[in-house]
Amino acid sequence: MAAPAEIAVPLERVGVRRSAAGTVAVVGNPNAGKSSVFNRLTGLRQHTANYPGVTVERRIGRGTFGGVSLDLIDLPGTYSLSPTSADEQIAVDVLFGRVAGTPRPEAILAVIDSTRLYQGLYLLQQLIDLGRPMIVALTMIDAAEREGRKIDFGGLQEALGGVPVFPIVATSGRGFVALNEALARVLTLPPPREAVHWPELRRAADMLVAQWRAAGVELHRVEAERLLIDVNAVPGALVPQAAADIAAARADLFGADPPLAAEARQRYAWVRATLARVESPGSGVVTQAAKLVDWINRPWPSTVLFVALMAIVFQAVFAWATPVVDLIDAGVSGIGSMIAAVLPDGMLESFVVDGAIAGVGSVIVFLPQILILFLFIILMEDTGYLARAAFLVDRAMRTVGLSGQSVIPLLSSFACAVPSIMATRVIPNRRDRIATILAAPFMTCSARLPVYALLIGAFVPVRSVGIFNLQGLVLFGLYAIGIVGGVATAWLLRSSMLRGQNPTFILALPEFRLPNVRTVAMKLLDRVRVFLGRAGTVIFAVAVVVWALAYFPRSPDVEAAQGAAAAEAAASLTGETLEERLAQIENQAAADHLAQSWLGRAGQWVEPVFRPLGWDWRISAAVIAGFPAREVVVAVLGTIYAVGGEADEETLAGRLSAAQHPDGSPVYTLPMVLGLLLFYAWCLQCAATLAVIRRETNSWRWPVFAWSYMTALGYGGALLIYQLGTP
């Protein structure tokens, strides 16, 4: 009786597989609630990828409206059709159908914040000129009502050439029934009534279209207008005399005026006139909530709030995540030993337990912290706090050549550089963004802490310095030196390779609002997917490669020696003493294997390079193993010094302090350890970070530069300390 049940599947569900009737672009100002509208309209039926060649996310979702199936494209937020960033460029290119693999949208759904109609109308006027069927969703109508704004929807529709206007609240779903009905008919809507707002521009654009048509190139009228106004506009195709045509028309239209300023003057004159007709501004009654927000936004309360929020984020990332991290750690090694018990000793066991399972473990062990960090970053974006934080610290950040928007990414990198580099997308200026990306890996991330803890605990004496402990001071110094390195790097870059001012740093400050659970959850899912896809695969691959380097080649001599020693012990010892002796023999064998493995040999080969830093081949091998992922260093040191890969820090520390150079002098002197710590503080030992820099800058140039620069810096610093400190 299964057949009738299948027939009963509602048509909407089947609709997913049908091709959509058309494509609708979802366009709006940044922070207008576009993503919330998009998510509500498409549900989970969406698909995220990057646009070809850029790091802008392309989100397409399928929605069914009264039986009509439509593909919705969530375009990056933009204030106008004059792009000033990669994100805005994509929004404009998609609208004109200039992006390969993305269909030219047949209709437009404009999402406008009803409390920011002033800037919304500017974009709307440009969108109307495109002459495509269009619908306007006025979001956050509840906030506008609270402010006492009265909007004449009929008048607005009239001013927009007949484009229907729908007041909605994306968080509660208010107004979506009407919006859905309108979307069902959107493809057959008549285009907006044509209105000539700027006759001179229109004439010049029509002339250009006619001239180019004669030369065989088809151009949309609005595209021609953009070519005339935007200095950096890129049309789909060019005619040979393009530059001359454009220059001539421009000189005619604007004279010596900057075209963009002329456009803003023209269009905003219309915006002000329209606004005066259709909106009566707030009644002037200030609510208690508004008073509170106004007070919080003052410099000092705002500073206190910023510090408190950051304290909470750090507390959450480091303290709240710890139990989960410990649980994962225990779980992974538990599964490892369970499998080890089942599999026979040998290569397969070692590969599964020390390679594959440990590799997966090293990815998921980061997840709790990463999830919490992503969640806070998304919440700050969604509530509008990010812009406030940028406003607060802009002045301070500018003294080091960055901008206020760099502050959250940089603070995030104290937990992990990967999400922090992904969070730099909010920085519109490319130079600021790259400087921030290159400064981020300097901050002391959570993977550096185990190495710091081990070396400080073992070699920095517990001594009071005033009210402080020397160990604590050294740890503090390492954090400080990371910050100094990052800030100095940003400053150097901004005054050399990335020199240049951002002439139009004007930041919109959105009102605080409650985050939308659905939007936050979807963004979180998206970013975790990127983390697992980009960083996770790299971390896993690296774990397996390092395992192989440390495992191969196997030496029969070592195994024979181990067998002989074990047999001898079994003959002469019993009970607990025997167990202890066997464990010792096994650890010694592991150390001997590692010494003649590819990794051990590599350590011996490069030892001369690190000799001036006071390192022996063991430290060199551990450092090499740590280049793809710095956190493996502790485990490698444990194996090399024959105390087992999971030895506790005390045992390992004891073994380390006994280590000697061939001439009998101790390896781990204070200058050498301080140098090694500095090396860790400044070196970019993280393949996942490099992979994310590659993805976010879309070139190999920056990861290569960051790696070489930071390695040189770490080496130089360690060399200096060791040579100065060693008599």
Partner 1 sequence: MVLGLVEGAELTFLRRSLGGDPLEVRIYGAAISLRDEQARRFHVMPNGRAG
What residue ranges bind partner 1 (CB under 8 A)? Answer: 79-80, 82, 84, 115-119, 122, 147, 149, 260-261, 264-265, 268-269, 271-272, 275, 281-282, 284, 297-299, 302-303, 387, 390-396, 404, 504-511
In contact, 717 and 488? CB cutoff 8 Å = no
Computed over its alpha carbons, how large is the radius of gyration of the chain?
31
Q: Are strands 22-28 and 68-74 parallel, antiparallel or unpaired?
A: parallel
Which CB sits closer to partner 1, 303 or 572? 303
CB of 303 to partner 1, least distance (A): 6
Which CB sits closer to partner 1, 271 or 692? 271
Q: Which residue has the tokens 């402990």?
A: 469
CB of 497 to partner 1, least distance (A): 23
Which residues lie below 8 Å from residue 173, measured CB to CB, with a gap of 6+? 40
Which CB sits closer to partner 1, 165 or 674? 165
Which CB sits closer to partner 1, 436 or 597? 436
Quickly count: other Cβ atoms within 10 Å of residue 138's Cβ: 25
CB of 77 to partner 1, least distance (A): 12
Can you state the angle between helices 176-184 and 34-42, rounded to 10 degrees? 70
Alpha carbon distance 194, 575 (integer Å): 95
Which CB sits closer to partner 1, 158 or 511? 511
- Give kind and range of the element (H or E) at residue 27: strand 22-28
CB of 123 to partner 1, least distance (A): 9
Which CB sits closer to partner 1, 14 or 261? 261
CB of 305 to partner 1, least distance (A): 12
Which CB sits closer to partner 1, 352 or 508? 508
Alpha carbon distance 126, 267 (integer Å): 9
Instruction: Please count the CA atoms within 13 angstroms of the CA of 388 that sit on its side-chain side.
Output: 25
CB of 306 to partner 1, least distance (A): 9
Which CB sits closer to partner 1, 275 or 686? 275
CB of 505 to partner 1, least distance (A): 6
DSSP letters of 590-613?
HHHHHHHSHHHHHHHHHHHHHGGG
Nearest in space to 426 (alpha carbons), one of 5, 89, 30, 21: 30
CB of 300 to partner 1, least distance (A): 8
Q: How is residue 686 annotated by DSSP?
A: B
CB of 432 to partner 1, least distance (A): 13
Q: How is residue 196 annotated by DSSP?
A: -
Nearest in space to 450 (alpha carbons), one of 584, 599, 636: 636
CB of 507 to partner 1, least distance (A): 4
Collapse the DSSP code of 443 into the 3-class scheme (helix H, G, I; strand E, B; otherwise coil) and give the result.
coil
Which CB sits closer to partner 1, 260 or 484? 260
Structure tokens at 643: 């105390």
Which CB sits closer to partner 1, 63 or 120? 120
Which CB sits closer to partner 1, 508 or 659? 508
Q: How is residue 187 annotated by DSSP?
A: G
Alpha carbon distance 377, 374 (integer Å): 5
CB of 630 to partner 1, least distance (A): 35
Alpha carbon distance 77, 88 (integer Å): 7
Which CB sits closer to partner 1, 302 or 469? 302
In contact, 353 and 340? CB cutoff 8 Å = yes
CB of 91 to partner 1, least distance (A): 13
Which CB sits closer to partner 1, 77 or 717? 77
Longest CA–CA span in the chain (Å) reads 104
Which CB sits closer to partner 1, 403 or 597? 403
CB of 63 to partner 1, least distance (A): 30
Alpha carbon distance 493, 615 (integer Å): 31
Structure tokens at 224: 């021609």
- Sign, CA dihedral 351-353-355-356, equals positive
Nearest in space to 33 (alpha carbons), one of 391, 529, 510, 528: 510
Alpha carbon distance 564, 332 (integer Å): 33
List, in sequence order, the alpha helices (H) in 515-574.
517-530, 537-551, 556-572
Q: Are strands 57-65 and 46-50 parallel, antiparallel or unpaired?
A: antiparallel
CB of 116 to partner 1, least distance (A): 4
